[in-house]
Amino acid sequence: MTAANSAPGTPPQQQTSVPARSRLRVALIGHAFMGRAHAQAWRTAPHFFDLPLQPELAVVVGRDEDRARAAAENFGAEEWSIHWREVIARDDIDLVDICTPGDQHAEIAIAALRAGKHVLCEKPLARSVPEAREMADAAATAAESGVFAMCGFSYRRTPALALAKRFIDEGRLGQIRHVRAQYLQDWLSSSEAPLTWRLDKERAGSGALGDIGAHSIDTAQWLTGQSIEGVSAMLRTFVADRPVMAHQSGLGGHAEEGAARGPVTVDDAAAFTASFSGGAMGVFESTRMALGHRNANRIEVNGERGSVAFDFERMNELDFYDGSDPDDAQGFRRIQVTEPSHPYTGAWWPTGHGLGYEHLFTHQVVDLVTAIAEGTQPSPTFAEAVQIQQVLDAVERSSADDSRFTATSEPATDGSHTLSSQPKKDPS
């Protein structure tokens, strides 16, 4: 919007003339759940944060003309398209934001990077380690020319988790000994919940393991500064087939009564123990069948001098235990992470006024735009995402081998999901 189109009621001090910022024109590919979250972030970030570049949602790309047009209108984008290749080739597009199912990540990301576009790609990065490595190689080559890629592990941008990271980096926990992570959802608890692309290994790569477990892996490694070196794992698929979906809604959808059933080819749940590079040990669980838990993303880290604990269902709070407190005052304390001194929160509301899920994506945009403007590599990098893909692969291999301890450095599974071996569909 130009200055003439400023919203009514804008404070006078915000209407004074300021130097024009360079634009960062974004093509959003995919407009369902994640596309909506990303679109909201691109619109919101420059209104609450002083960004060095002015992001503009230029075009929304989808598979169906009517839905793409409706999404563009709803998101406030200038244009819509059903041809992502044509959009990537345009000179007026600076960044490509990939919010498609996993089977389309590699082809779109590699093409965009080769076309000189910055890339933000949703997680998990790919369906396999070889596919992820292809993407990381393309990103490394592009970075030599100042073109950057980032993988969207958005929970890093939760203020409470960022505060936990600050505490750990400052040494308040001392040497890290334990990591305990759970990601519990229940939207697939019913055996009559219909098939979605998230239940198809060819499209998703894995089930609860990659969809939500990848977040736990990234958070644990980012918080501790340690990498997972080996795992002992178990995967389960509790419902082998489900009715074919007729209408999509949210993460799932609805099936017609008496609908044909199709196979579930991914895991419903994953559990594994992990050995970290710095000597810590970890316990991880992810499932989309924990009835009663809508989105319980939990992590606890225990060190020699303190502990932190977080649950996304109380996302504005961090529990902190300081082992140096006197005996009569020891115990976990609840920190309301809404102070101006806390990560990200100073740009938002007065103290005590909490944030929500959508704010993580806004913070992600802020960090990405700032890094691009500064000419520095944003994080998580595609290389970091490859390492997470190696952990996912090791979990699958361990489970298939009677839970044998499996090093993440061992050769990955074959490239059955590499870019060259699978035809790609246009994004939905």
Structural domain range at position 48: 20-155
Among 155, 181, 198, identify where a domain stops: 155
298 and 184 share a domain?
yes
pLDDT of residue 81: 98
Among 328, 355, 382, identify where a domain stops: 355
- The mean pLDDT values, 10 residues at a time, for the chain of 428 residues are 30 42 96 97 98 98 97 98 98 98 98 98 98 98 98 98 98 98 98 96 98 98 98 98 89 89 98 98 98 98 99 98 97 98 98 98 98 98 98 98 96 52 40
Q: Is 110 exposed, middle or buried (0-12, 13-18, 19+ CB in 10 A)?
A: buried
246 and 301 share a domain?
yes
pLDDT of residue 20: 67
Whether 322 maps to a domain, the answer reads: yes
Q: 407: helix, coil or strand?
A: strand
Whether 252 maps to a domain, the answer reads: yes
CATH of the domain at 310: 3.30.360.10
pLDDT of residue 133: 98
DSSP string, 217-234: HHHHHHHHT--EEEEEEE
Number of structural domains (the chain) is 2
203 and 342 share a domain?
yes
Lookup: tokens for 294: 């809508």
* Crossing angle for the helix pair 357-374 and 33-48, to the nearest 10 degrees: 60
CATH of the domain at 88: 3.40.50.720
Give residue for tokens 């794992």: 233
250 and 119 share a domain?
no
CB 240 within 8 A of CB 199: no
CB atoms within 10 A of CB 256: 12
Dihedral pair phi/psi, residue 344, rounded to 5°: 70, -30
Give the whole-angstrom CA distance, residue 297 versus residue 417: 28
